[in-house]
Amino acid sequence: MTAALSTAAPALPPVTPGFVHAPVMLEATLRLLDPQPGGRFLDGTLGGGGHSAALLEAVGPTGLVVSLDRDPHALAAAGQRLAPFGAASLRLRGRFSDMVALAGAHGPFDGVLLDIGTSSPQLDHAARGFSFQHDGPLDMRMDPDGGESAAELIDRLDEEALADIIFRYGEEPRSRRIARALVAGRPWSRTAALAEAVAKASGWQGSRTHPATKTFQALRIAVNDELGELERALPAAISLLRPGGRLALISFHSLEDRIVKGFFRDGAAIGTARDAYGQPLSPPTLRLLTRRPLDGAEEDPSNPRARSARLRVAERLPSA
Residue 83 CB, shortest distance to ligand SAM, in Å, is 16
Residue 158 CB, shortest distance to ligand SAM, in Å, is 27
Residue 198 CB, shortest distance to ligand SAM, in Å, is 24
Q: Is 41 an interacting residue with respect to ligand SAM (CB under 6 A)?
A: no
**Which one among 110, 172, 229, 299 touches ligand SAM, defined by CB under 6 A?**
229
**Which one among 55, 59, 103, 142 touches ligand SAM, defined by CB under 6 A?**
142
Nearer to ligand SAM, 114 or 197 (CB): 114
Instruction: Return d(Cα 196, Cα 205) in angstroms, integer.
Output: 13
Residues 54-73 that bind ligand SAM (CB under 6 A): 68-71
Residues 74-113 that bind ligand SAM (CB under 6 A): 74, 95-97
Number of residues this chain uses to bind ligand SAM (CB under 6 A): 22
**Which one among 115, 139, 299, 315 touches ligand SAM, defined by CB under 6 A?**
115
Residues 6-25 that bind ligand SAM (CB under 6 A): 21, 23
Residue 120 CB, shortest distance to ligand SAM, in Å, is 8
Residue 44 CB, shortest distance to ligand SAM, in Å, is 6
The DSSP line for the chain is -----SSPPPP-PPPSS-S--PPTTHHHHHHHH---TT-EEEES--TTSHHHHHHHHHH-TTSEEEEEES-HHHHHHHHHHHGGGGGGEEEEES-GGGHHHHHGGG--EEEEEEE-S--HHHHH-GGGS--SSS--BS---SSTTSS--HHHHHHHS-HHHHHHHHHHHH--TTHHHHHHHHHHT-S--BHHHHHHHHHHHTT----SS-TTHHHHHHHHHHHTTHHHHHHHHHHHHHHHEEEEEEEEEEE-SHHHHHHHHHHHHHHTTTT--B-TTS-BSS---EEES-SSPEEHHHH-TT-GGGTT-EEEEEEE-TT-
Residue 256 CB, shortest distance to ligand SAM, in Å, is 11
Binding mask 198-217 for ligand SAM (x = CB under 6 A): --------------------
- Minimal CB distance residue for ligand SAM: 47
List contacts with ligand SAM (CB under 6 A): 21, 23, 45, 47-51, 68-71, 74, 95-97, 115-117, 119, 142, 229
